[in-house]
């Protein structure tokens, strides 16, 4: 995880940390990563784009959801284990209650065509948010050890392997991951 930059502002308190992550989780229901980038980098200024990308990279290799791993790392960075727990509570508490209520409602109304259409629409919105975040963060590849052309080449290889050839994600990562790491290692 990148070390905090003294010039970058952080959360003022544990409650600021909780409510920031709570707001992110409620705004980005189903696609929090896009909201996290906007909130943490652009709105709050708690980290630079480069720090965000580095933290995201680390959170992707850890087991569990990326945004949860990132939440724990950011909370820990500013307030230690208490910050990690408070940020995690902010991220998960209210959405968990909402999901339980929606699951109960879905069980009751699942046969309605309006419900199926609403779920398809939410899926499209979540996909759009992920694509938008990817495009915003694309320029940070220029500053990475791998550089923009190689980064895009690996992204294209992943796309071809998963979307076109229908290879399982885990095997694609097992093959391309070590190659990408080796390339980045030699460039560092």
User: What phi-psi label fits residue 11: left (phi over 0), alpha (psi between -120 and 50 degrees) or beta?
Assistant: beta
Length of the chain: 188
What pLDDT, on the 0 to 100 scale, is given for residue 9?
79
Q: Tell whether 38 and 89 lie within a shared domain.
A: yes
Backbone Cα Rg of the chain:
18
* 93 and 161 assigned to the same domain: no
Enclosing domain of residue 105: 1-142
In this predicted structure, which of 2-11, 44-53, 152-161 has the lowest mean pLDDT?
2-11
Query: Is residue 74 located within the same domain as residue 42?
Result: yes
Supply the pTM of this predicted model. 0.60
Q: Write out pLDDT tens, residues 50-74.
A: 899 999 989 988 888 889 999 999 9
pLDDT value at residue 30: 60
Question: Are 75 and 163 found together in one domain?
Answer: no
Residue 10 near residue 4 (C-beta atoms within 8 A): yes
| pLDDT, position 76 | 95
Nearest CA to 35 out of 164, 125, 133, 145 is that of: 133
Q: How many domains does the chain have?
A: 2
Burial (CB < 10 A; 0-12, 13-18, 19+), residue 51, is buried
Residues 127 and 149 grouped into a single domain = no
């Amino acid at each position: 995880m990148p070390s905090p930059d003294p010039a970058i502002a952080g959360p003022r308190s544990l409650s600021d940390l909780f409510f920031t992550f709570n707001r992110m989780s409620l705004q980005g229901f189903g696609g929090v990563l896009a909201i996290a980038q906007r909130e943490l980098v652009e709105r709050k200024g708690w980290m630079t784009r480069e720090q965000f990308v580095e933290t995201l990279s680390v959170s992707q290799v850890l087991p569990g959801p990326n945004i949860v791993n990132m939440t724990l790392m950011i909370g820990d960075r500013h307030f230690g284990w208490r910050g990690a727990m408070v940020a995690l509570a902010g991220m998960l508490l209210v959405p968990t209650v909402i999901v339980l209520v929606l699951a109960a409602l879905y069980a009751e109304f699942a046969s309605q065509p309006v419900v199926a259409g609403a779920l398809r629409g939410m899926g499209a919105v979540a996909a759009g948010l992920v694509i938008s975040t990817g495009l915003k963060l694309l320029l940070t590849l220029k500053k990475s050890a791998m550089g923009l052309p190689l980064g895009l080449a690996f992204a294209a290889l992943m796309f071809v392997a998963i979307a076109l050839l229908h290879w399982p994600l885990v095997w694609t990562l097992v093959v391309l991951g070590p190659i990408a790491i080796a390339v980045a290692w030699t460039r560092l």
